[in-house]
Amino acid sequence: MVSAATLRKGAAAAVISLSLLAVPAHAAPSPGGAATLPAPDADGLLGVLSTARSQGAPGAMARIDDAGSLHRTTVGLADRSTGRAMATTDRFRIGSVTKVMSATVLLQLVDEGKLTLDSPINRHLPGLLPDDRITVRHVLSHRSGLHDYTDDMFARTVEGFEAVRTKTFTLRQLVGLSLRHPRTTAPGGAYRYSNTNFVVAGMLIRKLTGRSLATEYRDRIIEPLGLRDTFYVHPGTAIPGRHARGYLTPDTAGAALVDATEQTVSWAQSAGAVISSAQDMNTFLSALLAGRLTSAASLAEMRRWVPAGTGQAYGLGLRRRDLSCGVSVYGHTGAVQGYYTYAFASADGRRSLTALANTSNNARVMNTMLRTLDSAFCGKRAKVRGGAGPVVRHEDVAPGVARD
Ligand code: REY
């Protein structure tokens, strides 16, 4: 329970924590890239984050890296019990942005000749799936038909979360939960987001390398890019160092937020258990899109799109979003209990945005945070969306991840 006094203290801290820093860009022109984008709309960004806060997020923040210049904005609280203000340097749980990292590792394995995208999963993991036709590509593009086991797991939000908060699953157990259900499509059918796909991806990484996920993320992404805030601590439950606490919104209107910070995230693992920061995620996406993590051919494969809902498409572990000003951005969203993340970059990787709200299961906040992309990549050219319209459900995360 959070006392009224704590809440008041929180509200006061939120006002003084408001910060905005913008350094002018000196970017060289690059056709079709960040230098041709309108300047980020700092006021718009602050407005979006403030709206998310008014809709129930204890705090929110965004960091834009723009070819050498930096914009950082925060509102509200990182920690409701101490009243500490949100900081853009705080670490947090990135949820499904982890999928971009898992796909990157697998594409590196493709580059090394250890894997081909059109090979069946069962060739590498004999007998794992009930259909030999399901390929690596199907899994990475959410076209395997494998049911999402998190639908059942989190049908009841707080009860579901508390039942798994300290649990440790094997990846095979998670696939087993999925296989209790019929498949949603034939192999290679329509896109349908499912965490099961990236659990299978994690199994492939382990099988092909003979090493742990933590080791592969570290050696292939974290250390080469010098990421200092990025960790895979599974099945540890703590976030190392200074971090934003995460607050899960219960399904019952008016019920107190649940501090969900400490958990194993074993229910997600290679589909969503990485801890990181806005700076690190911007560095990662910029490097990926600039072609510094995979071969050009593998990046092209990651960017072969299938339709994934209005204004969206999905590649291999990578989402494309088409913004109101006609600009497309590339990255992923994440939703783990207590944390909503948007991490996207321009086509050339020169401008990147990572935005966080430290709540989840709140569709209004999630929809509001989407508008950080407009502020970051469309600037003042963003088309203002009506605030009174219906709450839009997104395809970014598993179905039913957020109540309206
Ligand atoms: C799981 C439920 C969300 C979150 C999910 N996340 O699949 C993956 C992702 C890793 O795409 C939870 N919602 C919430 C519910 C809804 O419990 N009943 O919003 O915290 O990032």
**pLDDT surpasses 60 at 57:** yes
Q: What is the CA angle 365-370-372, rounded to 5?
A: 105
pLDDT (mean) for 132-149? 98
Q: Residue whose CA is closest, atom 20 of ligand 1?
A: 337
* pLDDT one-digit tens code per residue, 315-340: 999 999 999 999 999 999 999 999 99
8 A C-beta contact, residue 297 and residue 316: no
Local confidence band at 381 (pLDDT 50, 70, 90 cut-offs) = confident
**Interatomic CA distance for residues 347 and 135, integer angstroms:** 27
Question: What proportion of the chain, given as a percentage, has pLDDT over 90?
Answer: 84
Cα dihedral: 229, 230, 232, 237 (round 10) = 40
The chain-wide mean pLDDT, for the chain, equals: 90
8 A C-beta contact, residue 182 and residue 139: no
pLDDT on residue 27 = 35
Ligand 1 pocket, Cβ-based, cut-off 6 angstroms: 95-96, 150, 154, 157, 160, 195, 248, 268, 271-272, 334-337, 360-361, 397-398, 400-402
The residue from 50, 96, 286, 375 that is catalytic is 96
Give me 2's structure tokens. Answer: 């959070």
Q: What is the CA angle 114-129-267, rounded to 5?
A: 90
* pLDDT one-digit tens code per residue, 202-254: 999 999 999 999 999 999 999 999 999 999 999 999 999 999 999 999 999 99
**Interatomic CA distance for residues 230 and 218, integer angstroms:** 9
**pLDDT surpasses 80 at 389:** no
**pLDDT surpasses 60 at 357:** yes
Local confidence band at 385 (pLDDT 50, 70, 90 cut-offs) = low
Note if 96 is an active site residue. Answer: yes
pLDDT on residue 36 = 86
- 18-22, 317-321, 388-392, range with the lowest pLDDT: 18-22
**Interatomic CA distance for residues 98 and 234, integer angstroms:** 13
pLDDT (mean) for 50-57? 98
> The whole model's pTM is what?
0.90
Extended strands (E) in 3-122: 19-22, 59-66, 69-79, 84-85, 92-93
**pLDDT surpasses 50 at 22:** no
pLDDT on residue 33 = 55
* pLDDT one-digit tens code per residue, 265-309: 999 999 999 999 999 999 999 999 999 999 999 999 999 999 999
More confident call, 27 vs 119: 119
pLDDT on residue 4 = 35
pLDDT on residue 380 = 87
**pLDDT surpasses 70 at 386:** no
Partners of 312 in the β-ladder = 321
Give the number of the atom of ligand 1 that is nearest the alpha carbon of residue 154: 17
Extended strands (E) in 161-279: 247-248, 258-259, 275-276
Local confidence band at 34 (pLDDT 50, 70, 90 cut-offs) = low
Give the number of the atom of ligand 1 that is nearest the alpha carbon of residue 337: 20
* pLDDT one-digit tens code per residue, 152-210: 999 999 999 999 999 999 999 999 999 999 999 999 999 999 999 999 999 999 999 99
More confident call, 30 vs 265: 265
**pLDDT surpasses 80 at 29:** no
Give the number of the atom of ligand 1 that is nearest the alpha carbon of residue 272: 10
